[in-house]
Amino acid sequence: MRVFIVVGHKATTSPDFSLEDIPGTSGRLDILCRCINAAFVLSHGIRKDVNIFLVHCGGTEPKTITLKGSEIKHLNPDERTTAALLKKALEIPATNAWSRSTPGIYVRKSGLAELLQEIKDVRIIYMREDGVDIRTIDLQTDAGIFLLGDHLGFTQEEDDEIRQFNHEIISVSPMSLHADHCIVIINNELDRLKRDNSPL
Amino acid sequence: MRVFIVVGHKATTSPDFSLEDIPGTSGRLDILCRCINAAFVLSHGIRKDVNIFLVHCGGTEPKTITLKGSEIKHLNPDERTTAALLKKALEIPATNAWSRSTPGIYVRKSGLAELLQEIKDVRIIYMREDGVDIRTIDLQTDAGIFLLGDHLGFTQEEDDEIRQFNHEIISVSPMSLHADHCIVIINNELDRLKRDNSPL
């Protein structure tokens, strides 16, 4: 299983945004939509072995939406229909437990801190520009959770918190890339590893 | 200079599509929009050293739109505003010569055949799933033009034509990826090469 966490620092927790102007009305939900595309979309299908957690911090209290590749339906590659799925997830009353909005998509109240506590026994692959090159590390298939920031990176407080857990700081590029491009590259590294490890 | 060519087999040559339903009304112009994002967009800027040619075959006669990173302005990462730029380019009367629609964006009548004739002295890096792994070839910076298909790949006629030119058949992944994801990975390979070749 491949797991990605993306923190949207301004990403709205309300469904009251416009699909006609996603970047301008939703706290850059377009970034998260592109991360969903990068995580799941193949040329003729969806990656079943991927889960993504999207932490929406643009509200009075955060919400987290998760998409599970093994269950998801109706996922198209374009931004607008993906944003419409997130809108549906934000419409349902969120509690501290996961509530299902559409197949494979769940939402709850809570932010990054809660998620980190829940995954504390798993290696966090903390994506930062100043990290070690992903090609130089032992990247065992399915051996970590990839944590990425949006256009705002991470706050000092978040950074301090993440570093308390079992983590490695990793980079995928000499350039400063958007989170979705990082996910494409991570998927490529893992696809290559999976091929190389295949007995066939 | 990095150059990408993407063939949109159904991509409309008319501006009469809806920004509210890009995939459904434009012959999958959303695919080309994502290729533009993948080619140009960095975390805090635009790649100046990239050009892209988008061949729109979804009309009575094809049009080609080119975007030049060194000149382009107003390029945002989201699909809708990129589609609006393509709409503007498709609105102006196209001739056999390049006409500028907005800064860095030009359009003309003509399709893949004309483009191939014009670049016939340049190595074409022909992206196909059955290609040689990009990591195993001598990928000199700026030494080729990357040619990619959309969700329909290439027709037999196009394939025959491409193979008449100086070309290498290359793949970036063991999986079947969308063109925009391929471009992200190609940019990553070239970024790494540029870093490794840097004297600093």
B183-187 average pLDDT score: 98
The predicted pLDDT at position A44 comes to 87
Please compute, for residue A97, the number of CA atoms within 13 A of its CA located in the half-sphere on the CB side.
Answer: 2
In this prediction, residue A141 carries a pLDDT of 64
Residues of B in contact with A41 (CB under 8 A): 178, 181
Give contacts of A176 with chain B, Cβ < 8 Å.
Answer: 42-44
pLDDT at A197: 86
Say if the Cβ atoms of A44 and B176 lie within 8 Å: yes
Shortest CA gap A48–chain B (Å): 13
The answer to whether the CB of B61 falls within 8 A of the CB of B51 is no
Q: Provide ipTM, 2 decimals.
A: 0.97
Is the per-residue pLDDT at B121 higher than 90?
no
Is residue A19 less than 8 Å (CB to CB) from chain B?
Answer: yes
Our CA dihedral for A95, A24, B69, B126, rounded to 10 degrees, sits at 40
Q: Average pLDDT, stretch B148-164?
A: 93
Q: Does B158 touch chain A (CB under 8 A)?
A: no
Q: Quick one: pLDDT at residue A199?
A: 77
- The Cα A170–Cα A146 span in angstroms is 9
Q: Scanning the structure block, which residue is given the tokens 């920031």?
A: A149
Weakly modelled stretches of chain A, pLDDT under 50: none
HSE, side-chain direction, 13 A CA sphere, residue B175: 24
Q: How far apart are CA A38 and CA B14, in angstroms?
A: 29
The beta-carbon neighbor of B78 closest among A23, A173, A191 is: A23
- Distance, in Å, from the CA atom of B81 to the CA atom of B87, rounded to the nearest integer, reads 10
For chains A and B, CB pairs below 8 A equal 96
Question: Residue B142: pLDDT band by 50, 70, 90 thresholds?
Answer: low
Say whether B78 and A37 touch across the interface (CB within 8 A): no
Q: How far is A179 from chain B, CA to nearest CA, in Å?
A: 8
CB A111 within 8 A of CB A55: yes
Question: Residue A142: what pLDDT?
Answer: 62
For chain A, report the end-to-end CA distance as a whole number of angstroms.
20
Q: Which two tokens stand for residue B77?
A: 């990462």
Residue B105 has pLDDT above 80, yes or no: yes
- Measured between beta carbons, the chain A residues lying within 8 angstroms of B42 are 175-178
CA distance B188 to A55: 27
Contact B67, B51 (CB under 8 A): yes
Give the confidence band of B141 by pLDDT, cuts at 50, 70, 90.
low
Tell me the pLDDT of chain B averaged across its residues.
95
CB B62 within 8 A of CB B55: yes
Element housing B8 (H / E): strand B2-12
The whole-number pLDDT of residue B84 equals 98
Q: How far apart (Å, rounded) are the C-alpha atoms in residues A94 and A101?
A: 10
At B16-60, the pLDDT tens digits run 999 999 999 999 999 999 999 999 999 989 999 999 999 999 999
Model pTM above 0.90: yes
pLDDT at A153: 87
- The span from the first CA to the last CA of chain B, in angstroms, equals 20
Output the pLDDT for position B108.
98
| B54-84 as b/e: b if 16+ CB within 10 A | bbbbbeeebbbbbbbbeebeebebbbbbbbb
